[in-house]
Amino acid sequence: MNRIWLIQEIFRKTNFKNYLEIGCRTGSSFLPINARHKTAVDPVFRVPILFKIKYVIKIPNNLNNKYFEEESDIFFLRREKYLEKIGGFDVVLVDGLHTFQNSLNDVINSLKYLNDNGIIIMHDCFPPHRLASLPLEHYGSLDEMKKIEGWTSEWNGDVWKTIVYLRRNFNELLNICVIDTDYGLGIIRPKGSDKKIDIKNLLIDEKSYNEIKNLTYEELMQNTVVMLNLKKREYAYTLIDEITKHNINK
């Protein structure tokens, strides 16, 4: 059970049609998803041409894909007309640069364009060990990580802090949890399927941000259930049923 499976099941069991993936890079999770309209955002695409051809043949909807080779902040800032034209997103995968700041910005920006009963899924929310959880600034650069003793190539960064921040500050507006699978799949949904999120209420509180930024991996592991609202992997089936039920009753 991973993010690709979860996203595809949601599209398979609903009439959702619009998908956004932030952090597409090689297309490994983007191209296998069968949705009517898909948008990919990444500052540097490295999608192998044969892989792209394979999935165009396998899933013809991939012919309609839109690719924006730019940072996600720039995408949301400059592509307002495009975002309005497509009518918002039903499913968003946040899997860009694995930092607290970037992932939080991506979630808040995505909420502005999330359709009723839509869902945001964040990858890398439950690091398997301390090295995998360290912020990017600890390493200096992605290349420097490979030189660290004990490096396993697993790096989730401090994305998990975005879940903590959202639960602390927006718990009344959002349903938030992390499913314990695929390095932690963060689930973010507005409360009330027919209620639009008031973006004015989602401004980042600097004091709260700095407090959470200073949290350590050890603190996370001591209080995982409270910080992340961690759910067993089987919860994914409950989640799909809830989304499907609301979609049918819409």
Query: Could you report the per-residue pLDDT of 142-196, keeping only the tens digit for each?
Result: 677 777 777 777 889 999 999 999 999 999 899 999 999 999 999 999 987 445 6
Domain of residue 134 covers 3-249
Task: Give pLDDT, residue 100.
Answer: 96
Query: Could you report the per-residue pLDDT of 102-126, keeping only the tens digit for each?
Result: 999 999 999 999 998 899 999 999 9
* CATH value at residue 241: 3.40.50.150
Query: Could you report the per-residue pLDDT of 19-77, keeping only the tens digit for each?
Result: 999 999 999 999 999 999 999 999 999 999 999 999 999 999 999 999 999 999 999 99
Contact (CB, 8 A) for 103 and 168: no
Please, which pLDDT band fits residue 136 given cuts at 50, 70 and 90? confident
How is 117-164 classified by DSSP, letter by letter? EEEEEES--S-SSHHHH--HHHHSSHHHHTTSTT--S---TTTHHHHH
The token pair at 117 is 């009963």
Domain count, the chain: 1
